[in-house]
Structures are given as structure tokens and as C-alpha cells.
Amino acid sequence: ELAITYSPAVGSSSSDVFEGYGSIFASAQVTPENRATFFTELDAIAASLRDTPVTEDELNRARAPEVERLRRAQAGNEYWISQLSDVDSDPAAVAEITGHIADLEAATPAILQAVAQRYLDPSK
């Protein structure tokens, strides 16, 4: 709506070394004068995710491309080579790797709201 970016991105990273450590990030290419607007909108999105569950339609529109991306990636060796590199030292990694799609498909609006309430706390 603001026409200030064509490249929004979000993601997360968790540590394999330090239990309970990780980060969530959001980024966008914006002009310096739109920087404050970006952060205002980001805060509003986080508040909305905490306060109101996403709809099933919103969840499905976000989830479907990621599930499809994973299915396509799993059809090639590059995915498995990158994913299986730690299996010899962490046998539990196999269940995690093979459960990626099932985990995405099991997500519900209530689960996402609970996660947002836990991790998108403005005081943290």
C-alpha cells in the first residue's frame, strides 16, 4: 500500500550450539525518508499478529508456496546434501529434516498467534 519497497523479506535463525538462542528478522529496501514508516508498519504488523489470529486463507497463501518450494527442493540432491551434513553427529536431525513439510502443514492460526505473542513482544 505504501509503495516503498519491492523486496520485503522475513526470516529466522536458530543456533545449533546455544539452546534457546535465535533471532527473527525483517528487511526491506526503503529510501532514508521512508525508514521510520517501515518501522512503524513493522510494529503494526507484529501487533496485529499478536492480537489477531491470521485467517485460514492468509495462512494457506503464505504456506502453500513454501511447501511447494520444499517439495521441489527435496526432489534434488543439493537439498539433501545441505540438509544431511549433520546427521552423522546428530541422528535426531533426520526426523527434523523429514518433518519440515509436515510441520508447516500442521501450523494453525492459533499456533502462529501464540508464537507471535511469545516472540514479538515489544518489550524484548
- Cell triple for 97: 529434516
Helix (H, G, I), strand (E, B) or coil at 99: coil
Q: What is the mean pLDDT of the chain?
A: 89
Does 1 score more than 80 pLDDT?
no
Q: Reduced to 3 states, what is the DSSP secondary structure of residue 38?
A: helix
Evaluate if residue 31 carries a pLDDT over 90.
no
* Cβ neighbours of 41 (radius 10 Å): 19
Is 11 in a helix, a strand, or coil? strand
- Residue 5: pLDDT band with limits 50, 70, 90: low
Instruction: State yes or no: pLDDT of 34 exceeds 90.
Output: no
pLDDT tens per residue, range 81-115: 888 887 888 888 888 888 999 999 999 999 999 99
